[in-house]
Structure 1
Amino acid sequence: MHTYGLTKKLDAVTGAQPSTWKEKALFRKNNQDWLKHSQAIVVRILEGLRDKNISQKLLAEKLGVSSQQVSEILKGKENFTVQTIT
C-alpha cells in the first residue's frame, strides 16, 4: 500500500507521459551527418540575417511561409528543402 502511494505521487510529479529522451538520442545518433550539415546551413542563414539586419518575420514574408515555420526551421525542428530557402 505504501509503495502504491509513492508511485501515485511520483506519477503526479513526473506526469503520465513516458519520456522520449532515448528515441531522440537515437535519432540524433542515426542522423548525425545531415544534422551537422543542417546546423551549418542554419548558422549561415542566421549570420546573413544579422548582417543584413533582417528579422525572421521579414524572411518568412520573403519566402512566402509563416514566421512560425521559419522559427521551427532555424531551431532545427523542421526539415526544409532548397526550394523553401531560395
Structure 2
Amino acid sequence: MDTDTQVHHEITKLQDAKSLDDAAWIATMNEKEKETGDKLLAANHAFFKRIRDRGLKHPDERPVLIKIADGFDTVVTASSTS
C-alpha cells in the first residue's frame, strides 16, 4: 500500500469515527510516529549489521564499506533536518 493510499485510508477512518478533534489527531500522529520510528530504527540497525558483517568477512572491502556507511549517514542526517 503506498503512502497516499495509507493517508487516505486513515483520513477516511477518522472521518467515519467523527474523531477529528485535537486529542484524537495527536494520539493518531504519536502512534504513527512510533510505528515509523521503530521500523526506521530496525532498518538502520539491519543495514549497519550487514555492513559490519561484510567488513568482517572481506577486510579488503572495508574502505568502500565505510564510504557507503558514511553516505547513508549523510542522507539520514540531511533528511532529518529537512
Given the two structures, how large is their TM-score scaled by the length of structure 2?
0.38
Given the two structures, how large is their TM-score scaled by the length of structure 1?
0.37
Write 1 or 2 for the structure with the bigger share of helix. Answer: 2
